[in-house]
Structure 1
Amino acid sequence: MVAINKYVLGASMVGTFFGASVLLKDYVGGGVCPSKAKIEGKTVIVTGANTGIGKETALELARRGGRIIMACRDMGKCENAAREVRGKTLNHNVFAKHLDLASTKSIKEFAKNILKEEHHIDVLINNAAVMRCPHWKTEDGFEMQFGVNHLGHFLLTNLLLDRLKESGQSRIINVSSLAHIVGEIDFQDLNWEKKKYDTKAAYCQSKLANVLFTNELAKRLQGTGVTVNSLHPGVADTELGRHTGMHQSAFSSTVLGEIYSILE
């Protein structure tokens, strides 16, 4: 009887743990979009679309009939992802384009080509990000997380802004993170040159910058027909945590996702 009680207690504890994990995942993961709207004739740019949230976003919007531009740094992976999306959706208006958000030269070249090739841009989804990488610098000398997650998208958005305005009822979506709530912007040392580098704090700073940029841009674009939103993507099994080690655990990457950066 004692052995049985111990077994039951152990099983109960395991069940409670996994039950709480599922509830946590559901809570931070948010709801499922109920919309079945089609977007035929709409042009959508998704950065960081070769994997994770960006790839799934491109896939879903391609299913809805959009003209999808998958903007990625690694063209090999991007071409493979675009081919997969075309195959799954039978939408041949899915294109891979090179964009390195750690390079202002690359961003300007990408924007120049887009403005030359696309007569309208209906949705810009600034999704690409790096999380808790070593103290790397971008090509232009900016701290990598702030440079890619915020500055790169800031430049890209502004270079495409006139075309977005011209397109009428367009949208800009900045993928931020719940991590922004503990972020602080150090205007005296954005590049972490005067203090010891903290990968977590640097990531949170970049995600807060996403939200602040979104809020200010939304104010400036009132009355233009351009809607600007930022979002926390919820729990997702992505490669974002490749520099933290959490991606090596199927459980932690699926259940905890981005909130790892806050709760650690």
Structure 2
Amino acid sequence: MKKALIIEDEILAGRRMAGLLATVAPDFEIAGYCDSIESAVAFLKKQTPDLIMLDIQLGDGLSFEIFKQTEVHSPVIFTTAYDEYVFRAFELNSIDYLMKPVSKEALEKSIVKYRKFHDQLIPDRQLMSGLMDQSEKMYKQRFLVSSGASLLSVRTAEIAYFFSVEKSVFMMTNAGKSYDLDYSLDKLETVLPDKEFFRVNRQFLVSINAIKRISVLSKSRIKIVLEPDFKEEVFVSNARSREFRLWLDR
């Protein structure tokens, strides 16, 4: 069953809308009733209904305020006794704007619009999900390294950071073991998830989990302490300091 939220400050009008919806769209059930901006915001912060029936004039103000106080991801059918808000309504998630008293025929047409909207939305979401899955699969899950005469497979989750010394690149694991790699840091940036790894300067590409401490020395001068510890001090380059702050705050 699909879920519908009715936002209406008049009890009888809300019940009438629920009855109409049950008649023209029996695959819907009422997820809840809200009679104010405050109660609607509280509801929408916790739940995302499939459809919202929204009266514009509520007891504590115009319902447009709801969209300012929380994100609304559901399609909306506005209902009102006034036509002066139609343009504002269609700037939001509106699929229709019905004048009160709402007739069965008018609501039927709105539900048809909703179903067309919903049928288009689902494939788009599935496509986006598929693209995201493919994107995740592009990241390396493990690295093959040499340890004497042996070969080891090191999982990406076990890596603390990568660093370069002269023209060589090394991997440092969480266990404090280092291995040389046949990769450049530039190449590593393209095969590692940017949510987990950040290129702090030309020499270091670090995991978020390897950052033990951060010291802000000035607006654009940031020092980081890594774990396992590195023998030299590590600084975020001035050019990347702002981006580094944003990365930490994701």
Quick one: higher RCO (CA 8 Å, sep 6+), 1 or 2?
1
- Fold-level match, TM-score > 0.5? no
- Normalising by structure 1, we get a TM-score of 0.24
When normalised by structure 2's length, the TM-score is 0.25
| The structure with more helix, counted as a fraction of residues | 1
